[in-house]
């Protein structure tokens, strides 16, 4: 997949226009690292790539790569995305992600999905269940409660796309959760990569996920304030 | 004298006189030039010119000279040759000299077919479809180490004529057994000792039939005993585009321990015994086989070669009748399969 | 044009712009995406006047390239690891014949044990073959080096290999300024062969050369590499003029001017090394980095100059010579043989083992504190090794070591996180 910048960058490097990143003081080109978990065939690598394209379209430097292995459907797959306002030199794996996206909840008790995720980290899980139902209630102690979000991404994908592929949907959720990229950029990246109904469906599902997460974050925030 | 009547007039045709030359060959001084071998033409290209270092009586030198000049005639001199490591390459290019009077590339041992594929691709891409490519190798470089690359070239149907000069062993390195070595033949790695002296039975590859199994356009076998036939097959091969294969039996006095003067005779006996069937195949099916005029028992062929010496006693009689019988069976099977005693099919 | 794309595709795009006439390759992880992308360009006629040949082995791939190049066509192939070894006879052949084939080597470990991840053992296996070997630090460099490679190869009549870390670079999506056709056409003229198979002017190529002349013929190969040493920097300069950015050259330096410890490395690990360097410098340590771009010809003088008066040189390398030590460090050692610096070899990242900034900082601090021994295997699990050695000493039929180690580590599937 190749994405070409149309003439100049849409946004000058260093500015984060249209996004609401809470990763650091607004306007600072901080390094933000995301780790995606899923299974082979679920588009985990594509998710990381598209995120990097979205960041690129916003004029930022971005790098995406999988944790490599032979082609094998169904096996656990990990992919990474680094986003920065300045040139990214390292190609080492991401040890300490700022955000973790879990595309397939069946991995939850099989693989150490939260390795390296610090107390300021974000967690986005594709599931229709609640965190407590999944045995993840304890995470709220480690992370900020409002930074842990679930999205029924597979259901949304089925509804908007007709196929149970949740990867792009989750990018919409991620944009809402941590603002590292804007929803507009995600949608633009989708339209660069896909065409026709697939692009439209993905964009719509991502937008819906964005709306859901924004709403959920507001609710969680209210609860956090209420319990403070 | 024959007579023909045409409008009442009587015409006669001059009979052609044949000159016996001590074998079944026929002198061609009075044959129409267009029917003569290329070598009879003073203007032949001499693609392999004199001065090379081949052994006296080398079947390969004889065969290659005929193959290359016939191919040069067929292509109007627009030919590129790729040569595997082996006797031919070694004796034609003793640094700093070369016998080759056409563009020639020594590849490696096992990749003549692949390198030739590259040459053909480059010519095509440069719009030079008039220039043709010939790849050549010994039996080792074709049947053993060259087989993978050859099969790939066949499978892709690359526009290359591959010629195998089969002297049935690795000669240049000191006569070691190859996948083309016949059963019972002595080589340095299949010595004539033990209960089964020489190369074992039930081994070996038949490259012409493997080539046919790939379904390539044209496959043919030939020997240096019938040089007209050889030239005709080379020229016919050049009429086709795509992968083509020619398997040429070339006796080696050194490796076969035979008299240098017997090279052509031995090649003829190989054919006439049925041990080496001479045929053509188009698109994977046999279309013509060269019939045997006088079927000879295999021992006539074997007796002339020191590599089969262990099958005979000191008086020259067959001592290992069991082995000779098995070889005879192989010959008989070829006669049967190719219908070599039937009238010639063309 | 600035793009966000996978390294393989960026390289493929550059190669396509170089107008190769024969592309022949055999699939091997992790080079596949490069060749597939070029193949698609040929099939869709985006790249015209090119034969794309699906060969049956890597040996065939290099052989086809040799035949094509000898016939005057611009030829390209790509491989890695086991594939490189399978074609090694032809690799030497191409260099010996002086044919300007360009090849991408997507660096991958050589087995046994079989391993599909990145290290430099494959490149090290052919370092004496006579090929020019250029190492890319990132995907921009990888892309640019291919364009320079064709120009260099054809000028010198020498094959050129561009090494890029398999998976780490080939499969990483990042920002690359992909050259345009116009830029490449202005930089790379059509191929004019020094020797060519042509019925109009027949020559014999590849004759046997005996003892009386072999030394001289081989010395010419050496002379060409020395010419390359001159031209590589010049070609990089000409590239900078045409494309507006610096890429390539013999070596790259980072903060070496006042460095007391200089780190030397090849390939993508340089990025992580530079991050570690920044971290250390922020704390007052005087650390510098030399990245070697031209591994062959080896830039002895340029390296010597870059290292200057540093008292310690640490070579971080992704290969090693069993029972002996480093491979790259041997070359580096030669460059600094008359200098006061002491050399340490750090073998890291074998078979795709991650080389982290933290791990490097630890090693460099040891170097600064004179605690770094002559040869260190970074992140080596000595206990695991010792347990297997004990097993081997204890019983004759101890079984395959690789399986024993995997079982010991409790690894059920390679790559499991």
Domain containing C369 — which CATH number? Answer: 3.40.50.920
Closest CA–CA distance from residue C202 to any residue of chain B (Å) = 4
Residue where the block lists tokens 């014949």? C97
Residue C233: which of C223, C248, C253 has the closest Cα?
C248
pLDDT, tens digit, 9 for 90 and up, residues B324-334: 999 999 999 99
The number of distinct structural domains making up chain C is 2
Q: Both C259 and C332 in a single domain?
A: yes
The answer to the question of residue C57 being in a domain is yes
Q: Assess whether C216 and C321 both reside in one domain.
A: no
User: Of C222, C243, C264, which one is at a domain's C-terminal end?
Assistant: C243
Q: Kindly tell me if the per-residue pLDDT of C256 is higher than 80.
A: yes
* Same-domain check for residues C279 and C155: no
User: pLDDT class for A1, splitting at 50, 70, 90?
Assistant: very low
Residues of C in contact with B93 (CB under 8 A): 204, 206-208
- pLDDT tens by residue, B85-132: 999 999 999 888 999 999 999 999 999 999 999 999 999 999 999 999
Residues C289 and C152 in one domain: no
Q: Average per-residue pLDDT in chain A?
A: 84
* pLDDT on residue B114: 98
- The string of pLDDT tens digits covering residues B122-172 is 999 999 999 999 999 999 999 999 999 999 999 999 999 999 999 999 999
> Using CB atoms and an 8 Å cut-off, which of residues 98-117 of chain B contact chain C?
98, 100-108, 110-111, 114-117
Q: Are residues C257 and C235 in the same domain?
A: no
| Assigned domain for C412 exists | no
pLDDT tens readout for residues A97-151? 999 999 999 998 788 899 999 999 999 999 999 888 888 878 878 899 889 999 9
Output the pLDDT for position C417.
40
pLDDT value at residue B2: 44
Domains of chain B listed by start with CATH number: 39-338 (3.40.50.970)
pLDDT of residue A130: 85
Handedness of CA B233, B235, B236, B241 (dihedral sign): positive
Is C262 found in the same domain as C239? no
| pLDDT(A28) > 70 | no
Give per-residue pLDDT as tens, C210-225.
899 999 999 999 999 9
pLDDT in tens, C291-328: 999 999 999 999 999 999 999 999 999 999 999 999 99
Q: Which of A83, A91, A108 best probes binding to C when mutated, by most C CB atoms within 10 angstroms? A: A91
pLDDT score, position A136: 81
| pLDDT tier for residue B12 given thresholds of 50, 70 and 90 | low
Identify whether the C-beta of residue B90 lies closer than 8 Å to the C-beta of residue B136: no
Question: pLDDT tens-digit profile of B277-288?
Answer: 999 999 999 999
CA–CA gap between residue B147 and residue C60 (Å, rounded): 11
For residue range C123-177, list pLDDT tens digits in order: 999 999 999 999 999 999 999 999 999 999 999 999 999 999 999 999 999 999 9
Check whether A74 has a pLDDT greater than 90: no
Report C:227-266 residues touching B (Cβ under 8 A).
none
B195-252 pLDDT per residue, tens:
899 999 999 999 999 999 999 999 999 999 999 999 999 999 999 999 999 999 999 9
pLDDT interval class at C277 (50, 70, 90): very high
C9–A91 C-beta distance less than 8 A:
no
SS (H, E, C) chain C: CEEEEEHHHHHHHHHHHCCCCEEEECCCCCCHHHHHHHHHHHHCCCCCCCEEEECCCHHHHHHHHHHHHHCCCCEEEEECHHHHHHCHHHHHHHHHHCCCCEEEEEECCCCCCCCCCCCCHHHHHCCCCCCEEEECCCHHHHHHHHHHHHHHHHHHCCCEEEEEECCCCCCCEEEEECCCHHHHHHHCCCCCCCCCCCCCCCCEECCECCHHHHHHHHHHHHHHHHHHHHHHHHHHHHHHHHHCCCCCCCEEEECCCCCCEEEEECCCHHHHHHHHHHHHHHCCCCEEEEEECEEECCCHHHHHHHHCCCCEEEEEECCCECCCECCHHHHHHHHCCCCCCEEEEEECCHHHCCCCHHHHHHHHHHHHCCCCCCEEECCCCHHHHHHHHHHHHHCCCCCCHHHHHHHHHCCCCCCCC
Beta bridge partners of C313: C262, C343
Examine the domain organization and report whether C221 and C263 are in the same domain: no
Q: Which helix (H) or strand (E) holds B326?
A: helix B321-338
Question: Which pTM was predicted?
Answer: 0.90
Q: How far is B9 from chain C (nearest CA, A)?
A: 53
Do C117 and C231 sit in the same domain of this protein? yes
Q: Is B106 helix (H, G, I), strand (E, B) or coil?
A: strand
Mean pLDDT, residues B175-195 taken together: 95
Taking all residues of chain B, what is their mean pLDDT, rounded to a whole number? 92
Nearest CA in chain C to A47: C173
* pLDDT number for residue B31: 73
Both C236 and C280 in one domain: the answer is no
- Cis before C112 (ω within 30): yes
Is C410 part of a structural domain of the chain? no
The whole-chain average pLDDT of chain C stands at 95
On whether both C158 and C272 belong to a single domain, the answer is no
Do both C296 and C338 map to the same domain?
yes
Q: What is the pLDDT of residue B143?
A: 97
- Band of pLDDT at residue B6, cut at 50, 70 and 90: very low
Assigned architecture for domain A32-129+136-227: 3-Layer(aba) Sandwich (3.40)
- Is the CB of residue C163 less than 8 Å away from at least one CB of chain B? no
Q: What is the mean pLDDT of residues A191-211?
A: 95
**How confident is the model over A66-72, as a mean pLDDT?**
69
Domain of residue C359: give its range.
251-377
- Give the pLDDT confidence score for residue A224 in this predicted structure: 65
**Does a structural domain hold residue C187?**
yes
Q: Between C117, C168, C414, which is nearest A91 by CB?
A: C168
Residue of chain A whose alpha carbon sits nearest to that of C413: A75
Specify the CATH number for the domain of residue C232.
3.40.50.970
Closest CA to B331 of B307, B296, B294: B296
Position C408 in a domain: no
What is residue A16's predicted lDDT score, i.e. its pLDDT? 36
Let me know whether C146 and C64 are in one domain. yes
- pLDDT tens digit sequence for C337-383: 988 899 999 999 999 999 999 999 999 999 999 999 999 999 999 99
Whether C87 has its CB under 8 Å from any CB of chain B: the answer is no
């Amino acid at each position: 997949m190749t994405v070409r910048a149309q003439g100049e960058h849409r946004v000058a490097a260093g500015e984060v226009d249209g996004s609401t990143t809470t990763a650091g003081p607004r306007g600072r080109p901080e390094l933000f690292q995301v780790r995606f978990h899923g299974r082979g065939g679920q588009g985990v690598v594509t998710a990381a790539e598209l995120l990097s394209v979205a960041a690129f379209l916003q004029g930022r430097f971005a790098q995406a790569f999988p944790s490599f292995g032979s082609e094998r459907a169904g096996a656990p797959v990990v992919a990474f995305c680094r986003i920065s306002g300045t040139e990214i030199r390292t190609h080492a794996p991401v040890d300490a992600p700022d955000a973790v996206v879990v595309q397939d909840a069946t991995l939850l008790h099989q693989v150490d999905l939260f390795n390296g995720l610090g107390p300021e980290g974000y967690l986005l899980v594709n599931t229709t269940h609640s965190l407590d139902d999944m045995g993840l209630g304890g995470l709220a102690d480690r992370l900020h409660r409002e930074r842990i979000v679930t999205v029924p991404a597979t259901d949304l994908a089925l509804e908007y796309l007709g196929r149970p592929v949740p990867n792009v949907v989750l990018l919409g959720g991620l944009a809402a959760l941590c603002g590292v990229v804007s929803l507009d950029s995600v949608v633009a990246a989708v339209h660069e990569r896909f065409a026709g109904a697939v692009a439209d469906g993905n964009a719509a599902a991502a937008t819906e996920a964005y709306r859901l997460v924004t709403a959920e974050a507001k609710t969680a925030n209210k609860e956090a304030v209420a319990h403070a | 004298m024959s007579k023909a009547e045409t409008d009442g007039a009587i015409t006669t045709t001059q009979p052609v006189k044949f000159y016996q030359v001590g074998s079944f060959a026929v002198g061609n001084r009075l044959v129409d030039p267009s029917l003569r071998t290329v070598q009879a033409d003073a203007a032949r290209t001499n693609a392999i010119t004199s001065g090379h270092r081949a052994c006296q009586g080398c079947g390969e030198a004889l065969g290659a000279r005929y193959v290359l000049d016939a191919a040069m005639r067929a292509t109007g001199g627009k030919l590129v040759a790729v040569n595997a490591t082996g006797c031919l390459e070694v004796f034609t290019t003793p640094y700093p000299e070369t016998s080759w009077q056409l563009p020639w590339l020594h590849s490696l041992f096992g990749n003549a077919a692949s390198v030739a594929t590259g040459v053909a691709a480059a010519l095509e891409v440069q719009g030079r479809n008039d220039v043709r490519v010939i790849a050549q190798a010994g039996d080792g470089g074709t049947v053993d180490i060259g087989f993978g690359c050859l099969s790939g070239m066949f499978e892709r149907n690359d526009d290359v004529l591959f010629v195998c000069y089969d002297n049935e062993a690795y000669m240049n390195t000191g006569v070691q057994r190859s996948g083309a070595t016949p059963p019972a033949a002595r080589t340095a790695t299949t010595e004539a000792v033990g209960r089964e002296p020489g190369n074992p039975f039930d081994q070996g590859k038949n490259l012409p039939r493997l080539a046919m199994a790939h379904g390539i356009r044209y496959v043919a076998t030939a020997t240096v005993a019938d040089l007209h036939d050889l030239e005709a097959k080379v020229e016919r091969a050049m009429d086709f585009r795509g992968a083509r294969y020619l398997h040429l039996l070339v006796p080696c006095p050194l490796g076969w321990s035979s008299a240098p003067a017997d090279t052509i005779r031995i090649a003829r006996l190989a054919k006439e015994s049925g041990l080496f069937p001479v045929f053509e195949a188009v698109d994977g099916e046999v279309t013509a086989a060269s019939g045997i005029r006088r079927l000879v028992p295999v021992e006539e062929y074997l007796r002339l070669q020191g590599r089969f010496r262990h099958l005979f006693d000191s008086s020259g009689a067959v001592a290992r009748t069991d082995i000779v019988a098995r070889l005879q069976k192989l010959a008989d099977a070829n006669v049967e399969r190719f219908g070599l005693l039937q009238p010639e099919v063309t | 044009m600035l793009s966000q794309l996978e390294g393989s595709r960026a390289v493929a795009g550059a190669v396509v712009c170089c107008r190769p006439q024969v592309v022949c390759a055999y699939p091997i992880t992790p080079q596949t995406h490069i060749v597939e992308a070029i193949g698609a360009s040929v099939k869709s006629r985006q790249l015209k006047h090119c034969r794309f040949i699906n060969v049956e082995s890597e040996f065939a791939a290099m052989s086809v390239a040799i035949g094509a190049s000898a016939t005057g066509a611009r030829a390209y192939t790509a491989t890695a690891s086991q594939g490189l070894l399978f074609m090694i006879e032809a690799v030497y052949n191409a260099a010996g014949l002086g044919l300007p084939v360009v090849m991408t080597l997507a660096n991958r470990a050589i087995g046994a044990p079989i391993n599909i991840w990145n290290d430099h053992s494959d490149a090290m296996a052919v370092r004496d073959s006579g090929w020019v070997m250029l190492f890319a630090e990132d995907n921009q460099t990888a892309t640019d080096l291919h364009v320079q490679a064709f120009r260099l190869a054809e000028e010198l009549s020498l094959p050129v290999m561009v090494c890029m870390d398999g998976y780490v670079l080939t499969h990483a999506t990042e920002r690359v300024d992909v050259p345009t056709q116009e830029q490449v056409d202005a930089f790379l003229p059509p191929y004019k062969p020094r020797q060519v198979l042509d019925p109009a002017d027949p020559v014999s190529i590849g004759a046997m050369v005996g003892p009386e002349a072999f030394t001289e013929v081989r010395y010419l190969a050496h002379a060409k590499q020395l010419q390359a040493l001159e031209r590589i920097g010049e070609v990089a300069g000409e590239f900078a003029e045409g494309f507006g950015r610096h890429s390539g050259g013999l070596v790259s330096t980072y903060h070496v001017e006042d460095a007391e410890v200089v780190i030397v490395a090849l390939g993508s690990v340089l990025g992580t090394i530079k991050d570690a360097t920044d971290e250390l410098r922020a704390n007052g340590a005087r650390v510098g980095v030399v990245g070697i771009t031209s591994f062959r010809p080896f830039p002895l003088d340029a390296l010597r100059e870059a290292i200057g008066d540093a008292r310690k040189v640490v070579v971080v390398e992704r290969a090693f010579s069993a029972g002996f030590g480093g491979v790259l460090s041997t070359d580096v050692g030669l460059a600094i043989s008359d200098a006061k610096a002491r050399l340490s070899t750090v073998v890291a990242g074998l078979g795709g083992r991650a080389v982290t900034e933290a791990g490097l900082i630890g090693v460099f601090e040891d170097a600064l504190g004179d605690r770094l021994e002559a040869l260190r295997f970074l992140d080596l699990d000595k206990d695991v090794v010792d347990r297997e050695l004990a097993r081997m000493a204890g019983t004759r039929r101890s079984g395959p070591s690789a399986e024993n180690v995997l079982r010991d580590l409790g690894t059920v599937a390679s790559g499991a996180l």
